[in-house]
Amino acid sequence: MREVSSQVIVDTVARLCMEANYYLGDDVIKAFEQGLQKEESPTGKDILNQLLKNAQIAKNENIPICQDCGFAVVFLDLGTDACVKGNIIEAVNEGVRKGYTEGYLRKSIVSDPIRGKNTGDNTPAIIHTTFIPGDKIKITVAPKGGGSENMSEVRMGKPADGIEGVKTFVIDRVLRSSANPCPPIVVGVGIGGTFEYVAFLAKKALLRNVGERHPDPFYADVEKELLQSINNLGIGPMGLGGRITALDVFIETHPRHIASFPVAVNINCHVARHKSAVI
């Protein structure tokens, strides 16, 4: 059994909170650059150039890419042969507290959903834990902005809806979202499981790098078809028209009950933030 100090968890989470908000992934930068080659709208091209410039300024000056520094969503892959000395949940939240305070990141979490009152340090985090073989711990911090999160949806369909029903739902959700999630967007799609688990699948899908296809050729083809259909909607960068409405579409699946057909869409804005570390 390998022991891991809780302080290592704190420091790693704090660093990832800052890095995720400062440094946009190379995959997203590349997608912006490729989008410039495909975009037909002069306004769309101008916006993509501005997004590239904004990302470069954030990286150079260690400042947030967006004023919405997000809800701290943390994915923990815990090795079954790793033992954390101390409370790992408290360590993660202390890391978020440290990262959002020392990194001068906007605090957006209120302690009560109805009565409000900002917690002042962006805690508590949303923590998803998965157990994996081995003695390593993988931590992924994925700050999630409110504007894009608000455009997400779960639908409990009928098994007879099939894959065509999934496609219709995803495209309709993007169309109804329009400019609200700050396109070009990344679309996470969950299929299967249960009411609560399908939303997790859609969120987890957003951790993939732009251009990374589903390992199952069937779903890989659906991802590519959905991306093309979404980019044919004409919403364009920031909703001002054009070809580049989405940078990518990712699907995650899980076995389902014979009577249920859960589908979820979780939309990410163009600031598709997530950073990982293995300790």
- pLDDT value for 157: 97
* Average pLDDT of every residue of the chain: 97
- pLDDT value for 167: 98
Compute the distance between CA of residue 268 and CA of residue 144 in angstroms, rounded to an integer.
8
- pLDDT value for 138: 98
Compute the distance between CA of residue 276 and CA of residue 13 in angstroms, rounded to an integer.
9
- pLDDT value for 101: 98
pTM as predicted: 0.96
- pLDDT value for 252: 98
- pLDDT value for 267: 98
The answer for residues whose C-beta is within 8 angstroms of residue 107's C-beta and 6 or more apart is: 69, 100, 118, 119, 120, 121, 122
> Which tens digits make up the pLDDT trace of 25-59?
999 999 999 999 999 999 999 999 999 999 999 99
Q: What percent of the chain has pLDDT over 70?
A: 100
Which one, of 175, 187, 209, 177, lies nearest residue 263 by Cα? 187
* Side chain identity, residue 107: K
Which one, of 44, 111, 3, lies nearest residue 270 by Cα? 44
Compute the distance between CA of residue 84 and CA of residue 120 in angstroms, rounded to an integer.
27
> Which tens digits make up the pLDDT trace of 130-143?
999 999 999 999 99
The answer for residues whose C-beta is within 8 angstroms of residue 87's C-beta and 6 or more apart is: 6
> Which tens digits make up the pLDDT trace of 222-268?
999 999 999 999 999 999 999 999 999 999 999 999 999 999 999 99
174 pLDDT tier (thresholds 50, 70, 90): very high
> Which tens digits make up the pLDDT trace of 191-218?
999 999 999 999 999 999 999 999 999 9
**And the tokens for 69?**
């520094």
Coarse DSSP helix, strand, coil percentages of the chain, rounded to the nearest 5 percent = 40, 25, 30
- pLDDT value for 243: 96
